[in-house]
Amino acid sequence: MIPGDSTEGCEPIDSIIGQERAYKAIELGVQLFSPGYNIFVCGLAGTGKATTIKSILEAIDPDTDPPRDFCYVNNFTDEDRPTLLTFERGKGCEFKTGMENVLEHLKQQLPSIFEEQEFVRRKQEIIDEFSEKQSELFTEFEAQIKDDGFILAKIQEGQAIHPDIMYRIEDKAVSIGDIGAAVSQNMLTEEQAEEVVQKYKSYRGDLQEVMRKGFALSREYQNKLNQYERSRAESYVAVALEDIREEFGDDKVIAYLDSYLESVLDDLDGFRAANNPNAEGEPDFSKYEVNLVLDNEKTADVPVVIETAPNFVNVFGTIERQLSTQGYWFTDFTRIKAGSFLRADGGYLVLNAA
């Protein structure tokens, strides 16, 4: 019976009317906060099952750790298997924001170190050193063939230019294919022509060896230039990541930051193009993003998630796909979405099994 003319003085009912034993059983069950314990509740519709369960779960205070934040980041050595990083509640968002700031800083500032006077000077020294060594190779070879009347010429075939050996006759460079014509014009005897051809074949082998050394020298030069660029960029990127390292000292985070740094050093051309208006297309930096798949910053100490439509995607999450401009589907770690199973981590998941 309602006392008086109003319900204002009535205490709200937080249990199932007439089901005290059921209420106590549920209360006992949810206090067994250990793996393997589940509760199945059934009854007629409208008897307050969901309301009762929710009120019990929200009132319970088990001795558990606060819920964690979950972030997926790129696995730079195996991109099909992204890395999961876990953080204290609220720290996941801080990590994501910090890494976004680092990336934006690198995109804006990293290209500028390659324009510094000291960098340009040292780079030119490396280029000059390479040019001098390569010039010495071909100069020595030219001196070697000069005594036999040969010269080194540059031949263009289509868009390609390559060196070849030619024979000098009366201050005119003659290709080996035109030696026969020189005999016909009495510019050479047949014996002289035969000797020229034999020496050409010998020198042609020597030229191939010179070119091989030139290619090896070019690779050495490119490696030296790349190493210099990496060494200059490495200290800059390391400083940009220093605050993140100090704030999030977890071993997995440190390992990720180490891989992140190496990836940036391998992708210096992409960062150069970031602010270059003449660059073709826009560099893709999505591999440096952080997917905060579960943010518990505003979640209660014990999450209570009620899943009213417990299908596979809603419970276990999904990995979304995107259609590329080339017409194929693709996905990556940034498209991983959490389901209610993960959102209830460290707390309770209530499924509507109807």
Task: Give per-residue pLDDT as tens, 245-277.
Answer: 999 988 999 999 999 999 999 999 899 887 766
Looking at residue 23, its pLDDT comes to 73
Looking at residue 19, its pLDDT comes to 67
- Dihedral sign, Cα of residue 106, residue 108, residue 113, residue 114: positive
Looking at residue 234, its pLDDT comes to 94
- Of residues 242 and 304, the one with the higher pLDDT is 242
Mean per-residue pLDDT, 181-190: 80
Mean per-residue pLDDT, 289-314: 89
Q: Where are the beta strands (DSSP E) in the chain?
A: 69-73, 83-87, 150-157, 160-169, 172-174, 290-294, 304-307, 318-319, 322-323, 329-330, 336-337, 348-351
Mean pLDDT check: name the lowest of 10-24, 209-223, 236-250, 315-329.
Answer: 10-24
Mean pLDDT check: name the lowest of 7-16, 163-172, 255-264.
Answer: 7-16
Looking at residue 13, its pLDDT comes to 64
